[in-house]
Amino acid sequence: MDTTASKVSRIDRKIKKCTLCPLHKGRTNAVPGDGPIHDLNIMIVGEAPGRNEDLAGKPFVGSGGKLLDSILKEAGLNRSEVYITNIVKCRPPKNRKPKTHEVETCTSNYLERQIELLKPKLICTLGATALKYFTGETNMGENHGKLVRSKKNDGLSFFPTYHPAAIFRNRSLKEVLQEDIRKIPFVLKKVKEEGANKQGIV
Ligand code: URA
């Protein structure tokens, strides 16, 4: 096995056995993430596994995941080309929002390491928890559908949008999410061209 693959498997194994925060107590399965690990263009980061994800050990396999898959497909993106993970890897009780110390523990031990290893060119954040974690912003209305450079993760490019679950509460957001996700291939192209320019390739 090559080094990236073995390092990713090592993190996955650690996540599956993790007891660093109280969320481990209620889980059936931890959900490390899923997707390609070489030449990764897009990483999608949600909030936390829900009931179906906890049972399956895979991210976004419930109704929100099905909606996400279909919106990605409409935008010409196949789920198999993106790496999907979450801010926290274990399901919070009754799907409550993860607490600050749970976010800090899980991201500092796992998500940051996944990003370092997989080096995604663009990180699409779904929902308020991922938006706040990566960009410090709290206003989704002002920040969705735009390329955001993070102050925290040097050189990383973020594209925040709504969480698919928000559409079940407010149907009018479906078109907004669709429109945002349709922009991703163009935003990715821009980010790649900028990267190539910086390295003197173009
Ligand atoms: N919601 C999330 O944020 N992540 C999942 O994996 C499933 C639902």
Ligand 1, CB within 6 Å, residue ranges: 46-50, 53, 59-60, 64, 86
CA of 115 to the centre of ligand 1 (A): 18
Half-sphere exposure of 200 (CA within 13 A, CB side): 0
Distance from C-alpha of 165 to C-alpha of 22, rounded to nearest angstrom: 24
- Best residue among 23, 67, 68, 86 to mutate for probing ligand 1's pocket (most ligand atoms within 8 Å of CB) is 86
Secondary structure of the chain: what % helix, strand, coil (to 5)? 55, 10, 35
Q: In what order do the strands lie in the sheet with 148-149?
A: 82-86, 42-46, 122-126, 157-161, 148-149
pLDDT digits (tens, 9 = 90+) for 41-94: 999 999 999 999 999 999 999 999 999 999 999 999 999 999 999 999 999 999
Atom of ligand 1 nearest to the CA of 87: 3
How far is it, in rounded angstroms, from Cα 157 to Cα 149?
Answer: 5
> What's the CA-to-centroid distance between 59 and ligand 1, angstroms?
6
Percentage of the chain lying above the pLDDT 70 cut? 96
**The pTM is what?**
0.95
DSSP letter string over 80-96? Answer: GGEEEEESSSSPPGGGP
The C-alpha atoms of residue 104 and residue 85 are separated, in whole angstroms, by: 16
- Which atom of ligand 1 has the smallest separation from the CA of 64? 8
pLDDT tens track for 101-145 = 999 999 999 999 999 999 999 999 999 999 999 999 999 999 999
The confidence band for 149, taking pLDDT boundaries of 50, 70 and 90, is confident
> For 4-193, which CATH class?
alpha beta
Percent of the chain topping pLDDT 90: 91
1 CA distance to ligand 1 centroid (A)? 29
Q: Which residue has the tokens 């099905």?
A: 66
| Structure tokens, 5 | 């693959």
Which atom of ligand 1 is least distant from the CA of 164? 1
Q: Report how far ligand 1's centroid is from the alpha carbon of 197 (Å).
A: 35
